[in-house]
Structure 1
Amino acid sequence: MAKPGDYWGARKGGRRILRSIIGKLQTGLSVFKGVKQGYFVVVATEGWKPERFVIHLGYLNNPEFLKLLKQAEEEFGFSQEGTLAIPCRPDELHRIIGTRKL
């Protein structure tokens, strides 16, 4: 299973995206009641049924997860409020973050 700390080797371009994302998340984190500090909420929007995920901030260094965030920026923009929509299927996000669907 992947661990959030395994992805600390972010690229230069990824760092710019990462700073932008962290800034957006910090302004919106107070919206999520019941979400522990150091985590944020996304929804995988493709497929039969959208699925909500609580993601550790350490995954912001995962190259695959950063690619999904870039796609979200291109498709939805980062003017979203509340939960961040990610344009992928839930099973793909489960694979990236190393969890299994129950």
Structure 2
Amino acid sequence: MGIRLMGLAQAKQKLRRSLSARIRMISATGVDVPKGHFAVYVGELSSKKRFVIPISYLNHPLFQDLLNLAEEEFGYDHPMGGLTIPCSEEYFICLTSSLNCS
């Protein structure tokens, strides 16, 4: 019984450290993201650019295709820390411009 409680305490401590590190990362990078928007990273490996886009884009089929590509290429755990879209900046700007018009 005592060993199990000690294991639970250690797991709780690890979870708390992990969550506090994630919160620090989010608060450091999420300062300039307005409500109703989210940040994505776009571009080549050496020069990714950060874009802040409306959440409404998540419902659009063209943007969902990009998300599927991101899932195929990176999975759900990748080193960038944020949502990375695997396309060129030019394509992304063109796509988001067309989404703004519709």
Query: Is TM more than 0.5 here?
Result: yes
**TM-score, normalised with respect to structure 2:** 0.60
Matched residues in 2 for 1:67 and 1:46: separation? Answer: 18
Runs of 4+ in 1 over 4 A off after TM superposition: none
- Higher RCO structure (Cα 8 Å, ≥6 apart): 1
Query: Does the alignment pair 1:87 with 2:86?
Result: yes
Structure 1: runs of 5+ lacking an equivalent: 1-27
**TM-score, normalised with respect to structure 1:** 0.60
- Give the aligned partner of residue 11 of structure 2: none
Q: Report the number of matched residues.
A: 72
SS at match of 1:55: strand
Determine which structure has the larger helix proportion and give its number: 2
AA aligned opposite 1:46: E
Superposed CA RMSD:
2.7
Structure 2: runs of 5+ lacking an equivalent: 1-22
